[in-house]
Amino acid sequence: MDNYYGYKVRKKLYGGEDSYFRDNPHVSGMAAEDGQIIFNPYSRGVNFDAVGRNEAARLWLRENKVVPTFNLTDAQKKAFRGTEYENDEGALKNSILSRIISGDPSAGDVTEMQQKWADWLLQNLNENR
């Protein structure tokens, strides 16, 4: 697919992106700084459709300067220890929302408030198409 919720997929990686992806095959995609979605060509066995939806949600949140106000569960905080999200609660909240949208089970046990936020975000993404 060439776009998700109105956000384009950029096929050509810049040098730094290619190097990063090569060194980090566990990172399947990214909401790039230019407002486009990029996929990691070094990742295998990945549902890139889900990754595209995930990264589009991140782009929309960034573009619209949305700061989610829901609480994270202790289990969610624990699951992301040792990652780039450990000391950035805002980024972790955006990641949890994006994972809910894309159906990624790593979002953990989703609270009612997190689901309400995800439903709201999905409505806005669908309007963005």
Query: 40-66 burial, b if ≥16 CB within 10 A, otherwise e?
Result: beebeeeebebbbbbbbbbbbbeeeeb
Mean pLDDT confidence for 78-97: 93
What confidence score (pLDDT) does residue 35 get?
96
Residue-wise pLDDT for 46-69, tens only, equals 999 999 999 999 999 999 999 999
Name the pTM for this structure: 0.91
**Domains of the chain by residue range:** 3-128
Cα end-to-end distance, the chain, whole Å: 14
